[in-house]
Structure 1
Amino acid sequence: MIDDPVATAGLVAREVRTGSRDGAPTRIAIARRTYRTDQADLWSAITDAERIPRWFLPISGELEIGGRYQLEGNAGGVVERCDEPESFAVTWEYGGQVSWLEVRLTEADDGTTLELLHEAHVPPEMWDQFGPGAVGVGWDLGLMGLGLHVDSGAPVDREAGLAFPTTPAGVAFVQEAAAGWADAAIGDGDDPTAAHAAAERTVAFYTGAE
């Protein structure tokens, strides 16, 4: 799918922040990547129900404020805010848990920068086990698919995408992404040894090496 997995993973800038919602602590995983297209096209790619499946997952529901959406085999939620073509916010509901997703687009010299913020109440034992890579690596893979679609205009092969993390290139990509999320967690105050151990477990989870 990609010629240089390490370089592709390096296109994403990662950050972790500590926050709070409803009086309870949260962790926020933030990913930023610049795409070689204009803001209108990138907005279409991430909000048009016909284009989203070309790089991510089939989606159903009402993609409007207050509407509910559902990604096939994955999360669903409510569209809380939409400011076209700059940003939107949705709840991210999966496995009985609710978290919050915000996506922002800004013009850049060489295209359009996408910033994704995923905020969640994370049980300490889950964070200790996997760190931010549990959700972050998944978004890295999604942002890679978005890049392939934007660059080519063609749909990403879904079966190849699902199998990618188990290929040699995919393993290299996941390792680089997980290490980046570990560094981001350390930047937010996590213990370096624990963060890198969590990254190794994340790699094993995504690549099937457990």
Structure 2
Amino acid sequence: MKDVLDELAAVRRTMGRGTLPAGEAYTVELRRRYDAEVDDVWDAITDPDRLRRWLKPVTGDLRPGGTYELEGGEHGEILRCEPPRLLKVSWMFGPEADAWPGTSEVEVRLTPGGDGRTEFELIHAAVVGEPMFPTYGPGAGGVGWDIALVALAEFLSGGVSADHAEFETSLEGHEFSRRSAAAWGDAHLAAGGDPEQVAAAVRATTDFYAPDPAGRA
């Protein structure tokens, strides 16, 4: 458990605002350092065979202007691809999402950090309306990305990444999700969020990712 929580602590989280074609967006931003060369990290996030081993299987026309689909429903268009520094995609979920183009984008930036390390930055911008953001805050997407980045760390270190669904439902995964939700609450507060709304959002996010089996509040 300590190793997983150390990985959680390695991430710097911020919440901000941005602009997408569909309008004003919220952003969740995660920054951390990986002990791997930039070419290795780039390959891990773009090669289909490696991507499926820490995130999900991917199919599609995997080139700029092409489309992709992850097993589980996430899909979109490859907007920019500049090896080994920048990858940007639209990020949609569910068949109905295609009716709202330009509402969600994910951008990953890689920078060589010296000593064989890589500075990793992920920015997920989304146009989020009522009631999603007031209810869950940045943790709605942030917790999921925290789980993904831990899996990437394990993969880059030569380990075998656990299945996301299995990890999320384990006792260790629940504790990780609770702490991740609290960390996103801190980022929300730092961005000027109302303390009562932030506290409620952290509770809602925690209940979503790590529900109490006894049904206690």
- Asked whether the equivalents of residues 61 and 68 of structure 1 are also in contact (C-alpha less than 8 Å), the reply is yes
Alpha-carbon shift at residue 18 of structure 1 (Å): 1.5
How many residues align? The count is 206
Per the alignment, residue 26 of structure 2 pairs with 27
2:71 and 2:21 mapped to 1: Cα distance? Answer: 29
SS in 2 for 1:108: strand
Alpha-carbon shift at residue 173 of structure 1 (Å): 1.1
> Mind listing any 5+ residue stretches in structure 1 that lack a counterpart?
none
> Mind listing any 5+ residue stretches in structure 2 that lack a counterpart?
98-102
Q: What is the RMSD of the two structures over their aligned residues, measured on CA atoms?
A: 1.6
1:196 and 1:12 mapped to 2: Cα distance? Answer: 21
1:74 and 1:149 mapped to 2: Cα distance? Answer: 23
Q: Which consecutive segments of 4 or more residues in structure 1 shift more than 6 A? A: none
- Asked whether the equivalents of residues 136 and 205 of structure 2 are also in contact (C-alpha less than 8 Å), the reply is yes
Alpha-carbon shift at residue 167 of structure 1 (Å): 2.4
Per the alignment, residue 103 of structure 1 pairs with 108
1:147 paired residue among 143, 153, 160:
153
- Asked whether the equivalents of residues 79 and 89 of structure 1 are also in contact (C-alpha less than 8 Å), the reply is yes
- Asked whether the equivalents of residues 106 and 122 of structure 2 are also in contact (C-alpha less than 8 Å), the reply is yes
Alpha-carbon shift at residue 188 of structure 1 (Å): 1.7
Question: Deviation string for 1:59-104 (max 9, x for gaps)?
Answer: 0012110111000113111001111000011000113334101000
2:153 and 2:6 mapped to 1: Cα distance? Answer: 13
Q: Give the TM-score, by structure 1 length.
A: 0.92
Matched, 1:68 2:40: no
Alpha-carbon shift at residue 165 of structure 1 (Å): 2.3
Alpha-carbon shift at residue 197 of structure 1 (Å): 1.8
2:81 and 2:22 mapped to 1: Cα distance? Answer: 25
SS in 2 for 1:157: coil
1:183 paired residue among 186, 189, 199:
186
Alpha-carbon shift at residue 177 of structure 1 (Å): 1.1
Alpha-carbon shift at residue 23 of structure 1 (Å): 6.6
Matched, 1:118 2:124: yes
2:136 and 2:46 mapped to 1: Cα distance? Answer: 30
- Asked whether the equivalents of residues 91 and 100 of structure 1 are also in contact (C-alpha less than 8 Å), the reply is yes
Per the alignment, residue 169 of structure 1 pairs with 172
Deviates more, 1:39-48 or 1:167-176: 167-176
2:155 and 2:166 mapped to 1: Cα distance? Answer: 17
* Counterpart residue identity of residue 133, structure 2: W
Determine what percentage of the aligned residue pairs are the same residue: 36
Per the alignment, residue 100 of structure 2 pairs with none
